[in-house]
Amino acid sequence: MRTRALALVLTLLVTGACASVDRAPVPRTSPPAAAAEPEAIRWVRDAAEYHAALYQVYRLATARVEADTRTREPGTWAVILDADETIINNVGYQIERSRLGLGFSPESWNAWVKRREATPLPGAAAFLARVRALGGKVAIVTNRFESECADTAAVFERHTLVYDAMLCRPDDGPSEKNTRFAAVAEGRSTASPNRLEIVAWLGDNIHDFPSLDQSVRAQGAPGFTDFGVRYFVVPNPMYGSWQ
């Protein structure tokens, strides 16, 4: 009996040792609490679908702009784009705030802008370059403040995100963009001193499109006829005027 028991113990030891080779080591202590970012932030940070959506939007916009400008004179037309979560990615800021259990604040946002750590979104740089190559002007209309414009321009320059005008929000001015859209169209921006036909708008917020707001939803399909034609929306589940 004693021999059989000894054999059993040895067998268990040997099989246990072999099995342990195939298994990942079990940590003795729990790993550091994985920061549980909200799903929306995780999706932007991790999802292949997010990048797919961006490439899809930018490819569609490129094809439409190519088709719509075939007969236009170079220098007579422009596209208008938002910056944050349309051309540049600020998910790093969202993660930092989330891990602190905090949300957006003007002070923390300004500090983030000054760090110049936003990164280009997939498809954006190629689109901007293509518009320029086709003879179009690129105007960025962003609600980053005028006092944050230089740091924003530096991010664009670092990542070769080309543009002709960047219209930031006056520090004491309204967030509405229609006035700045008009400035680009009427030749009152660095994009051109002449009138420009605006052939496309791109943004992640309904306010990035002329005269639209959340109430457009109530109109149903007729309210969205320009989307996929002249208006191109990039998904942003993290924040927006929908909140």
Using alpha carbons, select from 47, 41, 148, 48 the residue that is nearest to residue 94.
Answer: 41
Q: What are phi and psi of 23, to 5 degrees?
A: -105, 150
- Chain residues that interact with Mg ion, rule: CB under 5 A: 82, 84-85, 204
**Cβ-based nearer residue to Mg ion, 137 or 169:** 169
Q: Which is nearer to Mg ion, 85 or 148 (CB)?
A: 85
**CA dist 136 to 32, 59, 82, 150, Å?**
51, 16, 17, 23
CB of 30 or CB of 175, closer to Mg ion: 175
Shortest Cβ 21–Mg ion spacing (Å): 51
Query: Which residues have C-beta within 8 Å of that of residue 15, sequence separation ≥ 6?
Result: none
To Mg ion, the closest distance from the beta carbon of 187 in angstroms equals: 25
Pairwise CA distance, residues 143 & 171, whole Å: 10
- Minimum CB separation of residue 28 from Mg ion in Å reads 45
* Nearest residue (CB) to Mg ion, 134 versus 145: 145
- Burial of residue 172, with CB atoms counted within 10 A of its CB: 0-12 exposed, 13-18 middle, 19 or more buried: exposed
CB of 83 or CB of 185, closer to Mg ion: 83
In order of 24, 179, 194, 208, 214, the CA distances from 219 in angstroms are: 55, 24, 35, 18, 10
Q: How far is the CB of 171 from Mg ion (least distance, A)?
A: 18
- Of 40, 32, 142, 122, whose CA–CA distance to 82 is shortest? 142
CB of 127 to Mg ion, least distance (A): 15
Which residues have CB under 8 Å from 100's CB, separation 6+?
none
CB of 54 to Mg ion, least distance (A): 13
Judged by beta carbon, residue 69 or residue 86, the one nearer Mg ion is 86
> Cα–Cα distance between 233 and 118 in angstroms, integer?
20
**Closest residue to Mg ion: CB criterion:** 84
- 92 CB contacts (<8 Å, ≥6 apart)? 112, 117, 118, 119
- Based on CB atoms, which residue is closest to Mg ion, 176 or 186? 176
- For the CB of residue 87, give the shortest distance to Mg ion in the complex, in Å: 9
